[in-house]
Amino acid sequence: MRVRVTTAALGITAALLALPACSTDTTGAKHQTASSSRTGKPTDALHKPAALSSAALESRLLDQSDLGSGYLPKPQRSAQHDDVTVIGCPALSELGSDAATGGTLTFPHKAKAAFTYGDSSSEISEELYSDTANKLSAGIGRIFDAMTGCPTYQVVAGGTPIDVTAQKLPAPQRLGDQQWSQLLTFSTAGRSTVVKQTAIRDGNLLLIVSGAPALVDRHLRKALAKGTAIG
């Protein structure tokens, strides 16, 4: 059985992460952390830093010069309208599987970039979102908990059944205020695709890096450093 990280699998992963997340529309241009003590818990009750605009987030995404040789930008896909149904994972279904299209979370301020590497069988994507710390934490935490809470389930996308296994991974410590990580295996038509996803919330910024496990590990810290840089 071949194991590859493919466009299709990353698309399904993005679709699952597109399940609804609460958000509000605020504006701002300067990133601030939610807690100087980094307790790992949102502290919106005392401080509510303004969210970064989508344009500001766009400038903080990794580009080819950051990644190094061998990486090519992957064109943004048009909005997907295939029906997506989750079978065998009530927690995911309750979040609204009919909304699992479009490839991005529903926070108002967002930016995304994707790249292929080498022979184009491996990919890495980066997503940045900005909102209040509480909303970011609740939105991404709810989705990761639902996905890793079901060790196996099935996604039917556009009539194609895809078997999914989800494994919660130890999150990278001492990065940002909160961290989530998981390993997803997608199996269909005799092929398997392995995708690692790691999410880090740092104040009012949420970073999600997805793709081939080795590529995620290689570029995660660089992505966080650029995403949280001030100025």
Helix (H) or strand (E) holding 157: strand 152-157
Short-list 92, 124, 149, 152, CA closest to 208: 124
Cβ contacts of 129 within 8 Å, gap of 6 or more? 57, 105, 107, 109, 110, 136, 205, 206, 208
Q: Which two tokens stand for residue 15?
A: 């679709």
DSSP state of 3: B
**Going from the N-terminus, what domains does the chain have, and what CATH number goes with each?**
7-24+44-227 (3.40.1000.70)
Strand partners, 110: 129
- Indicate yes or no: pTM above 0.85: no
Q: Which of 50, 23, 28 is nearest to 108 (CA)?
A: 23
Which H or E run contains 65? helix 64-67
Taking only the tens of pLDDT, the chain with its 231 residues reads: 344 445 556 666 666 665 555 443 433 444 444 343 444 555 444 455 678 999 999 999 999 999 999 999 988 765 555 577 888 988 888 776 443 433 457 788 999 999 999 876 799 999 999 999 999 999 899 888 888 889 999 988 878 899 999 999 998 888 999 999 999 999 988 899 999 999 999 999 999 999 999 999 999 999 999 999 975
